Homo-oligomer: A and B are copies of this chain.
Amino acid sequence: MKLSILGCYSATPRALNNTTSQVLEIKNHMFLIDCGEGTQVQLRKHKIKFNRIKHIFISHLHGDHFFGLVGLISTFRLLTRETDLHVYGPKGIKEVVTLQMKLADSWTNYNLYFHELTSKKSELIFEDDKVEVHTIPLKHRIYTNGYLFKEKQGDRKLNISAVEEANINVAYYRKLKQGFDVVNEDGLTIKNDTVTQAGPKPKSYAFCSDTMYKEDIVPIIKNVDVLYHESTFLEQHAHLAGKTKHSTAKEAARIAIQANVDTLLLGHYSTRYDGLNAFKQEAQAVFKNVELTEDGKTFEF
């Protein structure tokens, strides 16, 4: 699981600060999460192949999370993309993108599917044989979802010497990997766990931006490996966090500890602060394993 931070600042793009966008590589998928203005240029800088992006997840329709979407969709068209593209986001996202296509008389030459969200409960919105994506209802000034990306439990690993010793026909190996007991060449039932072991623990990533402190999300993100939780402000500006429905670094850490996550990533920083270290320090007073997202950084888990 690899996470590339294309942008992690709030409000407006600046010469050296990009607004929210991330790419999550998980089980051969390349998921784009949020798409602030300039995201397509950030993708180029990260040398991410445009065609590998087949799913875009937009948390909400504030500009710093989606003003780069229409440009990216348009650039895909100019580059003669043929691959399908799926866009997940709040209701309205289809209208605003298609209106711009209509005005430009420039329709995509690839299939573009919108999956508009309206539910206030967590939903399964994408699933294949390896990965699930669920929404995480957040509380912000407008309708907003975070996203939970979960690997599925993979096949069990065969203990080859044990399997051979148990005299099991090769035809049953697939059933063993799927966790079933099987009958061997001698007609004996072989218990699955005597010849296999569990595959690697599935990884999970929760993206939570933008939101005020909201404990309701804890059950949804419980035990994830990595939690990105916005921390627009420090506690000294808790009143601004309340007013604008954002979180402080301390609040992000309080969510992390309750959800028992492995690693907390902070981001969506207000540019009012001189540096980022204070965010880390404030969070670490509550929860130890904190990392700062920064534009251009990548994390591997």
Contact = CB atoms under 8 A, between A and B. Distances in A.
Contact of A104 (B63, B78, B103): B63
Given A67-B74, A105-B141, A41 B61 contact: no
A285 interface: no
Given A13-B40, A38-B41, A99-B99, A104 B70 contact: no
A63 B67 contact: no
Contacts of A78: 11-12
Given A38-B38, A105-B141, A100 B12 contact: no
A90 B104 CA distance: 11
Given A37-B37, A141-B105, A100 B14 contact: no
B63 A70 contact: yes
A85 to B, nearest CB: 16
Contacts of A243: none
Interface residues of A, number: 35
Nearest to A76: B12
Nearest to A69: B67
A62 interface: yes
Given A41-B13, A78-B11, A96-B100, A71 B67 contact: yes
A100 B44 CA distance: 26
A95 B45 CA distance: 33
B104 A37 contact: no
Contacts of A37: 37-38, 40, 68, 71
Nearest to A141: B105
A104 B142 CA distance: 7
Nearest to A39: B37
Interface in A11-34: 11-15
Nearest to A75: B12
A92 interface: yes
Nearest to A11: B78
Interface string A59-97: 001110001101100110011000000000010110110
Interface string A124-140: 00000000000000000
A75 to B, nearest CB: 4
27 contacts: A11-B75, A11-B78, A13-B38, A13-B71, A14-B41, A15-B44, A15-B45, A37-B37, A38-B38, A38-B41, A61-B100, A62-B104, A62-B106, A63-B104, A63-B106, A67-B70, A67-B74, A92-B99, A93-B103, A95-B99, A96-B96, A96-B99, A96-B100, A99-B99, A103-B142, A105-B141, A105-B142
